[in-house]
Amino acid sequence: MATTTKKDPVFVVVQLSGGNDFMNTVIPYTNPLYYDNRTFLNIPEEDVLPLDSTLGWHPEMGPFKELYDRGMVAIVQGIGYPDSNRSHFRGMDIWHTCTPDEVSTIGWLGNTIEQLDPTGENPLTGINFGVGLPKAMTKAGVPVTSVSNLDNYGLMSGITAEDQKDEALQIFKNMYGQAVGTGPVMDYLSRTGNDVLTGADIIKVAPERYESTVEYADSPIGKSLRDVARVHTADLGTRIFYTQQGGYDTHANQLPTQPGLFKDLARAVNDFFADLEEHDADDNVIMLIFSEFGRRIADNGSGTDHGSGGGAFLVGKPVDGGLYCEYPSLERDRWAKGEDLEHTIDYRGIYGTVLEQWLGLEAAPIVQGTFEQINPFKTN
């Protein structure tokens, strides 16, 4: 529909909540130290899906490996930051705000969205799929949209009969019509109510317009990424998508838990890129998959506990696949806090990489400093 010659770059974030165990995601399967420390929770060498002679994928990451083998996955090894905070909430906060030393209420993507759409013209520039807006996307005055159910988004969504819902929305519109002189807060409510109506009208076209032969595997992350695809292919000007998959806090029962999570994740990501390819909509999309921290080097007999350094992935057609940065050392004298993987690249450098090399924005004001970047994109 749009007549632009060059498509704007789009950035999708997938947050793995709970702290993913990177050591059992990309596994140092030939390193004896791995088996020494993971006496209980190791993936036997014969089950690992090798990606080279020292590292291999978790057996349930097959569909992800397929993307890797096609050169679409950059593995960012050892991502983290100094003196990692092991609290989920605070740890996630730090990733969301780029301020490890102080609590902030401004998200890095909130800042990014503001840069991409300074006047806040399009409330769909940034969209979160899930319940409640992640802090990463919040900034006072920057409109972003949070969608828990794309097929039924907007006001009065609880009213199921379509005609009755339309009737209720019409009355709502009248009630929120500009009232003269009833005070600034009433006026503000009117404006906001009308903005919400407009946003819902725009986003409604996405499910209406979408057709695909790709059948996503039935999982929450699959559903979320399908929603991302539906909105992206509808060309509504969305530049930042955010969604998450929970359940990575595997203190116990990691052996039965993690494979299920990986199975859902790997399938969903694979389906998503297949879907974009089918719509010829994959040239301008990259995805970052991250988690708030890695887990402890030694297992605890059932699971692993909150750690420091972990790993992240950049995925997409424009990505120059391969291994980036250094896998954290398993040698005991190089453990962070005496028990964790030490980070080898600061996450703010990866954000900076995406901001500058992908979105074309100046990174320093957003990530609050200058950090080492990588070069994970194909050069044309």
Partner 1 sequence: MGSNDLALKAHLLRRAGFGASRGELEEIAKNGYEEIVEDLIHPERFEDLDEDYIRRYNPELSYHDGFQNHAGRWIWRMINTKRPLEEKMALFWHHVFATAYYKSEHVPTLIAQIETFRNNGLSNIKKVLNDLAKDPAMNYWLDNCENHSDQPNENWGRELLELFSMGVGNYSEDDIKNASRAFTGWTFEQPHPLYPFGHFASSFIFDEDDHDGSEKTFLGKTGNFNGEDIVEIICEQPATAKFICRHLYTFFVEDEPQVHTWSIEEPRNPEAIDEMIKVFMETDGDIRSILRFVFNSDFFKDAWYKKVKNPTELVAGTIKLTGMYDVIPKEGEALGTLYGSASVMGQALMNPPTVEGWHTGSEWIDGGTLNERVNFAVNQFDDVSTPGFKDILSRLGDQVKSDDLVGRCLDLIGPIEVGNETHAALSSYADAVGDLDLSTDQARTENAVKIARMIQLIVSTREYQFA
Partner 2 sequence: MALAHELLRSGFPYYMTLGQRRVTSNPVDIGFGKENVYVLTKGGLGTEVRVINWEDENLGVLGGTDLFQWPAALLVDSEENLIVSDEAKHTVVTMDKDGNHLETWGVKGDGEGELDRPSGMSFDSEGNIVLSDTMNNRVQRFTRSGEHLQTIGVGDLDSPWGVAVDQLDNVYVVDWKNDRIVKYSRDGDLVMTLGSSGSGKGEFNRPSSVAVDNHGDIYVCDRQNNRVQLFNKEGKYIQSFHGNASLSKSGQTYILANAVTLRLRAMSDVEKTQLLDVPMTIRVDDDFRLFITDFGNHRIQIYKKDAIELSQDQIAPEMRNPILFTT
Distances (CA, A) of 97 to 67, 94, 128, 192: 30, 5, 16, 26
88 lies in the binding site for partner 1 (CB under 8 A): yes
Strands (E), the chain: 10-16, 26-27, 49-50, 56-57, 73-80, 126-129, 145-147, 240-245, 285-291, 310-315, 322-324, 345-346
Helix, strand or coil, per DSSP, at residue 232: helix
Burial class (CB in 10 A: 0-12, 13-18, 19+), 140: exposed
Least separation in angstroms between residue 160's CB and partner 1 is 9
Q: Please give the size of the binding site for partner 2, defined by CB under 8 A.
A: 14
Q: Which residue has the tokens 């887990």?
A: 295
Single out the residue of 17, 146, 329, 368 in contact with partner 1 (rule: CB under 8 A). 146
Residue 307 touching partner 1 (CB under 8 A): no
Q: Site for partner 1 (CB under 8 A): which residue of 172, 255, 257, 356?
A: 172
Indicate which of partner 2, partner 1, none lies near residue 118 (CB less than 5 to 8 Å, by partner kind). none
Quote the CA–CA distance of 66 and 327 in Å, as a whole number.
Answer: 21
339 binds, among partner 1, partner 2, none (CB under 5 to 8 A by kind): partner 2
Is 253 a residue that touches partner 1 (CB under 8 A)?
no
Q: Is 133 in the site for partner 1 (CB under 8 A)?
A: yes
Answer yes or no whether residue 121 interacts with partner 1 by CB under 8 A: no
Q: How many Cβ atoms are within 10 Å of 368's Cβ, its own excluded?
A: 17
Identity of the residue numbered 210: Y
251 binds partner 1 (CB under 8 A): yes
SS3 state at 8: coil
Contacts (CB under 8 A) with partner 1, residues 5-44: none
Angle between helices 220-233 and 254-278 (to 10 degrees): 20
3-state secondary structure of 283: coil
Only one of the segments 148-156, 220-228, 290-298, 368-376 lies at the binding site for partner 1 (rule: CB under 8 A); that segment is 148-156
Q: Is 103 in the site for partner 1 (CB under 8 A)?
A: yes
Counting residues that bind partner 1 (by CB under 8 A) gives 48
In sequence order, the 6+-apart residues with CB closer than 8 A to the CB of 337 are 84, 308
- Return the amino acid letter for 132: G
Q: Is 130 in the site for partner 2 (CB under 8 A)?
A: no
Lay out the site mask for partner 2 across 282-301 (x = CB under 8 A, - = otherwise): --------------x-xxxx
Identify the residue among 44, 158, 181, 338 touching partner 2 (CB under 8 A).
338
Which one among 159, 205, 217, 323 touches partner 1, defined by CB under 8 A? 159
Partner whose binding site includes residue 235, from partner 1, partner 2, none (CB under 5 to 8 Å by kind): none
3-state secondary structure 119-166: CCCCCCCEEEECCCCCHHHCCCCCCCEEECCHHHCCCCCCCCCHHHHH
**Is 53 among the residues that bind partner 1 (CB under 8 A)?**
no
Q: Which of the residues 237 through 256 are near partner 2 (CB under 8 A)?
A: 251-253, 256
In the complex, the residues that contact partner 1 under the rule CB under 8 A are 87-90, 93, 103, 105, 123, 131-133, 140, 143-146, 154-159, 164, 167-168, 171-172, 174-177, 179, 182-186, 188-190, 192-193, 195-196, 199, 251, 300, 305
